[in-house]
Structure 1
Amino acid sequence: MTEEELTILPEEKRETVETSYSGDDIKTLDWKEHIRLRPGMYIGKLGDGSQNDDGIYVLLKEVLDNAIDEYMMGFGKQIDIEVSEYTVGVRDYGRGIPLDKVVDVSSKMNTGAKYDSKAFKKSVGLNGVGIKAVNALSTDFYIKSVRDGKSIAIEYSCGEIVSDSGIMPSDEPNGTFVRFTPDNSIFRDYRYREEYVVPLVKNYTFLNTGLSIYLNGKRYFSRNGLLDLLKENLTTEPLYPIIHLKGNDIEAVITHTKQIGEEYYSFVNGQHTTQGGTHLSAFREAVSRTIKEYFGKNFEYSDIRNGIVAAISIKVEEPVFESQTKTKLGSRDMGPEGPTVAKFIGDFIKKELDNYLHINLDTADILQKKILENEKERKAMAGVTKAVREKAKKIAIHNKKLLDCRVHLSDPKGDEDKKEASSIFITEGDSAAGSITKIRDVETQAVFSLRGKPLNTYGMPLVDVYKNDEFALLRAALNIEDSIDDLRYNKVIIATDADVDGMHIRLLLLTYILQFFPDLIKKGHVYVLQTPLFRVRNKKTTRRAGTRQSKKSGKESTDDTYYCYTDEERVTAINKLGANAEITRFKGLGEISPEEFRGFIGPDMRLDRVTLRKEDAVAELLEFYMGKNTVERQNFIIDNLVVEDDSQIS
């Protein structure tokens, strides 16, 4: 009996159960064994590269951070990166690791130069762990240092030295080269994706003006720092020219757009702190206070910040992060002898932003108009919001449309893996929800069933949207009424049918989210569930329970059944089964039996994350597809109509 099982027994029965606990149970792991056994402690989640915070990108960052630190210290203006699907190479042109310490730096925990703030005053990595984690979690890890006409190269496999060149003469320029291939047994079926690597590289250039990074031969470079970053990430036009403020160890950019809510990008020593921290809290407070004092009016902070898009970057000596992945700053002070983070940022913003507004009166006027509009809308919403919340609470008590799960992202305590896995499926009607409901994981998977097609919210005033019962219940289920920081589910999954109505419902939901809660998408919480369009099976094979194929198309199960997500996969399956092929076209989720559905929403479910980029021209897309230009859309459909030959799938 396990200790966990023992602890749930009644007290009087526990003493009768023997548990084995001796010196043999005490183990000491070496550095690489511990990293490989508990990788999450060092790099956060694992993943397969399908999400931008998966572990393989953390490995890339750990290596790249060391190269960036060299640049920040004034050595090397170029970094070369080669990324294939499975292997990464990073070459910097800094000073190079001292040759006699290359083995120590790459394979001995808590070894590095960054404990001494004189060598690396404002570094990201301070605990001597990162590069060792990359080494231990890679089947092939190669590191070469070139320093003053000499070099040394060490090759490892899963942390074990495979070869050591020793110190040799070299005519290469100084610097360090690291190449690694993540272990496929840890990062299962992983693949590096360009759409996640490129933004990562761009952020490094925005934060290090003058640095050239060549990714697979393409140069990335920034002249204007955070100003370029904000221009790159804005999906709507700013209401006024972006305010750009720079000082020693601090840089900030601020503007407002028509979007609802607040949007921030925060960085410490070049590290993207996606979860914010003490510096972001201080920045938000300082901006609000400075603007309020400038206008001399009793504006609410929420009215000042609604619609704001901003970025803050600071450099801190010996930063303290709340985890090894460095996504949230915990430091209270700028350094051992420096001011507090709050005072440093507050003093800078107070002086520079106040001066800017006094000089740029046109910008100040536009900003004031935006604040007054926010105030007017908030007051108009106050009564409506209260009534809607009260109504939603009453309905929610008896709301049979929401089947909740037990673990939520916003839970203050609990298993972090389960909190991360927490999901809500938004389905169209009870029949579609039926299959999911019967086989879902009640620990982490909730289901919200729509009552038909939701409202088209494009161009509607916020007051009118809030009166809609369907969206009121959805907001209550997600718990995003006040802020998406309170979001109850890590993944909001739109699970609609693969037909015209399903696609329309998907578009209506995305229209609502894009207009009123774009941060849900920008922070990577919104997904679309991909389910098979066809089942192709051998009619002569007896189907046996428990032998269904997994969701991954192209893999044959014991009952010769293939689930196909595209026409190409369907044709491939038909060719394999020949004359015995029986083809079923799934036109709705309700047509898929619960047992068949089990694999489609399991740990390997096929999800497409909804992303938002400037080049997507979201405003124009929404206006065309969801606006009042009915005739224009009709002509577009007529001109682009594709007729499917049903005889091929009968």
Structure 2
Amino acid sequence: MTPSKYTEDNIKTLDWQEHIRIRPGMYIGKLGDGSSPDDGIYILLKEIIDNSIDEFVMGEGKKIKISLNENNIKIRDYGRGIPLGKMVDAVSKMNTGGKYDSRAFKKSVGLNGVGTKAVNALSSYFKVQATREHLTRFAEFSKGILTFESDEIESKETNGTEIIFEPDPSIFGNFKFRKEYIDKMLKNYVYLNPGLKIYLNGEEFYSENGLQDLLEENIESDTVYPIIHLKGEDIEVAITHGERSQSESYFTFVNGQHTTQGGTHLNAFKEAYVKTIREFYNKNYEASDIRKSIIAAVSIKVIEPVFESQTKTKLGSNEMGPNLPSIRAFTTEFLKSNLDNFLHKNSEIAESLQRKIIISEKERKELSGIQKLARERAKKVSLHNKKLRDCRQHYNDQKSPRKLESTIFITEGDSASGSITKSRDVETQAVFSLRGKPLNSYGLTKKIVYENEEFNLLQAALNIEISLEDLRYNNVVIATDADVDGMHIRLLLITFFLQFFPELVKNGHLYILQTPLFRVRNKKETRYCYSEEERINALNELGKNPEITRFKGLGEISPDEFKNFIGRDIRLEPVMLSKDTSIETLLEFYMGKNTPNRQEFIIDNLVIEAIK
């Protein structure tokens, strides 16, 4: 073998925008197409809003206006405005920003001046305009390169900064902003910043009671007692227990950042809460009994936080800041003082909470025998589990560079699972194969999860028995045929997750795999069509007499073709809950025994399409 030459020509210096565009994952995590809440286009939006939030936190500007028009987004805040002389540098020069000065931004949520540059570099069009003291200036960029810069001119506009950007389709592909995800993001911003008003296309987002409002918005069923809302310097918590909930549910934040994977602050809260409850009742209750059915929100502010990834989904810091106490000690002291005082002053709530713990203890003891057998069975088969073809990179592995891509396909039957298994990316894509239709779990207790072998193995594969904190796959994808049986299996699986693991759905981890209904091709080109409309368009564009194939099931699609549907161009439909949807009402209607009402609904909504 001839050795390759290593010369000065091999040494390259990339411009700042080239580095971001070549390695976008270093700055915004995964790219995605907008079907997942942690896709890159939402990270871009978040980075711009974070800067506006920092202005509000500093006491400057009490409203933010956002306009979304397909792929174009405009964010206007009413803070101090970027200093005009440094405006271009602030959005296009690395290591330039106001957040390096801790006096100005002590507990900032932004990316220390990197975030806006990443948005600029990854946008096909980017415009920044700052207004300060009756003067304004703007600049335009394309893919991070300056295309126009105005002079300073007089303005009657209020102080502040306006950013307009369009994500670059050459980076993000055929993407789509989903308003549901943006709504959730904006709600979290106002919960964490009471008094702030955010407008999205004219719709107002506002909160007076902070984390208490967040819990009230997200509670699905009755609670055991009214929400306990405690606030202190650099910490705020809201706590209650669900009447029927089977799992623990947490919403955690650091400096306004939604840490969906928790971290040291969540662990500190769990430990401190259990310790405080044990000491208050003077009983050594099991931690799982104390926390079962808990619904809690925790927000802390830390100086110079360290996160375990660039997208800041998990806190790694152990200290509140330089020369300050540990997060664990700080949280323990806060709860020991404030929660203990609250329970002493509110005896009815204290009694309700203790009754809930005792009920949880009783239920745990009744389940303990079944759980032990189920865990032993799951552990035994995990060594040679024919149902699971695992991947190498997992969501709960912080060192995994592709953990956000980790996906498990839940399939039905050997043929479908075989096609996906042969064509999948073994690094990030796992396959779990069902045998026949799963049980309708509506109205059943958690006991059924342990007694039913498939449910127990699925629970073990996902690693969600206790909480979502150690979820092994970021994307849980139901991959069934697009026929009546396939739709029924989808419904039964969604019911299972909503009944026992609703946080998996609420946190945006559950999807439906969209596979093509038709293949239309001629000698030169092949089109895969996911709808009747796409089929007609393909027929019109491919000319005379193209070959048309109707896919009836996943097993009919060869592994070579399947690569096209689960790779870069994968189409995933997220399973979402609207803000007005109650899980209990939803499951009762579709999976309960109200057959006449459901029959009437089906008849009223039946659509029959003839294939031409």
TM-score of the superposed pair, with normalisation by structure 2: 0.93
1:20 aligns with 2:20: no
3-state SS, counterpart of residue 309 of structure 2? coil
Contact 1:84 1:192 in 2 (8 A): no
- Cα distance in 2 for partners of 1:247, 1:315 equals 11
1:640 aligns with 2:592: no
1:437 aligns with 2:421: yes
1:176-325 aligned at under 5 Å gives the runs 176-257=161-242, 258-325=244-311
Give the letter aligned to residue 606 of structure 2. V
3-state SS, counterpart of residue 409 of structure 2? strand
**Residues 1:575 and 1:21: Cα distance change in structure 2 (over 3 Å):** closer
Give the letter aligned to residue 288 of structure 1. V
- Cα distance in 2 for partners of 1:141, 1:578 equals 40
**Residues 1:182 and 1:259: Cα distance change in structure 2 (over 3 Å):** same
Which one of 311, 316, 333 corresponds to residue 319 of structure 2? 333
Give the letter aligned to residue 425 of structure 1. F
Which one of 65, 81, 91 corresponds to residue 76 of structure 2? 91
Which one of 552, 562, 568 corresponds to residue 587 of structure 1? 552
Q: Deviations over 1:195-216 (max 9, x none)?
A: 2212111211111111111212
Q: Deviations over 1:240-285 (max 9, x none)?
A: 2111112222211111112222111111222212222222222222
Give the letter aligned to residue 55 of structure 1. G
1:423 aligns with 2:407: yes
- Cα distance in 2 for partners of 1:398, 1:155 equals 57
1:477 aligns with 2:461: yes
1:535 Cα offset (Å): 4.2
Contact 2:56 2:62 in 1 (8 A): yes
Give the letter aligned to residue 642 of structure 1. L
1:34-113 aligned at under 5 Å gives the runs 34-113=19-98
3-state SS, counterpart of residue 508 of structure 2? coil
**Residues 1:588 and 1:312: Cα distance change in structure 2 (over 3 Å):** same
- Cα distance in 1 for partners of 2:546, 2:144 equals 49
- Cα distance in 2 for partners of 1:451, 1:323 equals 38
Contact 1:115 1:126 in 2 (8 A): no
1:611 aligns with 2:570: no
Contact 2:16 2:93 in 1 (8 A): yes
Give the letter aligned to residue 132 of structure 1. K
**Paired-residue identity, %:** 62
Give the letter aligned to residue 291 of structure 1. I
Give the letter aligned to residue 344 of structure 1. F
Q: Which stretch of structure 1 is more off in the superposition, 597-606 or 579-588?
A: 579-588
Contact 2:30 2:405 in 1 (8 A): no
**Residues 1:220 and 1:579: Cα distance change in structure 2 (over 3 Å):** same
1:423-502 aligned at under 5 Å gives the runs 423-502=407-486
Contact 2:517 2:551 in 1 (8 A): yes
Q: Deviations over 1:474-495 (max 9, x none)?
A: 2233333444333333322211
1:115 aligns with 2:100: yes
3-state SS, counterpart of residue 602 of structure 1? coil
Name 1:546's counterpart in structure 2: none
Q: Deviations over 1:560-609 (max 9, x none)?
A: x5443333334445566798466554332223344443322232121112
- Cα distance in 2 for partners of 1:310, 1:149 equals 45
**Residues 1:400 and 1:294: Cα distance change in structure 2 (over 3 Å):** same
Name 1:628's counterpart in structure 2: 593
3-state SS, counterpart of residue 171 of structure 2? coil
Name 1:545's counterpart in structure 2: none
**Residues 1:126 and 1:449: Cα distance change in structure 2 (over 3 Å):** closer
Which one of 310, 331, 334 corresponds to residue 348 of structure 1? 334
1:382 aligns with 2:368: yes
Q: Which stretch of structure 1 is more off in the superposition, 341-350 or 575-584?
A: 575-584
Q: Which stretch of structure 1 is more off in the superposition, 289-298 or 330-339?
A: 330-339
- Cα distance in 2 for partners of 1:71, 1:453 equals 52
Give the letter aligned to residue 110 of structure 2. G
Q: Deviations over 1:81-114 (max 9, x none)?
A: 1222222222111122222222222222222222
1:368 aligns with 2:354: yes
TM-align CA RMSD: 2.5
Name 1:533's counterpart in structure 2: 517
**Residues 1:73 and 1:488: Cα distance change in structure 2 (over 3 Å):** closer
- Cα distance in 2 for partners of 1:420, 1:337 equals 34
Q: Which stretch of structure 1 is more off in the superposition, 489-498 or 622-631?
A: 622-631
Q: Deviations over 1:339-380 (max 9, x none)?
A: 332222222222221122122222222211221121112222
1:68 Cα offset (Å): 1.1
Q: Deviations over 1:275-314 (max 9, x none)?
A: 2222222222222211221111111111111111111112
Give the letter aligned to residue 118 of structure 1. R
**Residues 1:630 and 1:174: Cα distance change in structure 2 (over 3 Å):** closer
Q: Deviations over 1:102-127 (max 9, x none)?
A: 22222222222222222222222363
- Cα distance in 1 for partners of 2:452, 2:418 equals 25
- Cα distance in 2 for partners of 1:350, 1:149 equals 51
- Cα distance in 2 for partners of 1:270, 1:71 equals 12
- Cα distance in 2 for partners of 1:118, 1:576 equals 61
Contact 2:47 2:111 in 1 (8 A): no
Contact 1:266 1:313 in 2 (8 A): yes
1:128 aligns with 2:81: no
Name 1:565's counterpart in structure 2: 530
- Cα distance in 2 for partners of 1:517, 1:188 equals 32
Name 1:13's counterpart in structure 2: none
3-state SS, counterpart of residue 457 of structure 1? coil
Contact 1:583 1:649 in 2 (8 A): no
**Residues 1:133 and 1:562: Cα distance change in structure 2 (over 3 Å):** closer
1:27 Cα offset (Å): 2.2
Contact 1:235 1:617 in 2 (8 A): yes
Name 1:649's counterpart in structure 2: 611
Name 1:163's counterpart in structure 2: 148
**Residues 1:442 and 1:322: Cα distance change in structure 2 (over 3 Å):** closer
**Residues 1:325 and 1:389: Cα distance change in structure 2 (over 3 Å):** closer
- Cα distance in 2 for partners of 1:18, 1:572 equals 52
- Cα distance in 1 for partners of 2:257, 2:549 equals 50
Give the letter aligned to residue 505 of structure 1. I
Contact 2:261 2:469 in 1 (8 A): no
3-state SS, counterpart of residue 170 of structure 2? coil
Give the letter aligned to residue 361 of structure 2. E
Name 2:496's counterpart in structure 1: 512
- Cα distance in 2 for partners of 1:147, 1:641 equals 56
Name 1:10's counterpart in structure 2: none
3-state SS, counterpart of residue 600 of structure 1? coil
Name 2:567's counterpart in structure 1: 602
3-state SS, counterpart of residue 186 of structure 1? helix
From the CA coordinates, give the structure whose radius of gyration is larger: 1
**Residues 1:401 and 1:55: Cα distance change in structure 2 (over 3 Å):** closer
Between the two proteins, the alignment pairs up a number of residues equal to: 611
Give the letter aligned to residue 611 of structure 2. I
- Cα distance in 2 for partners of 1:562, 1:106 equals 41
Q: Deviations over 1:433-478 (max 9, x none)?
A: 2332333333333322211111122222322331111222222333
Gaps of 5+ in 1: 1-15, 543-557
1:29 Cα offset (Å): 2.4
**Residues 1:379 and 1:131: Cα distance change in structure 2 (over 3 Å):** same
TM-score of the superposed pair, with normalisation by structure 1: 0.87
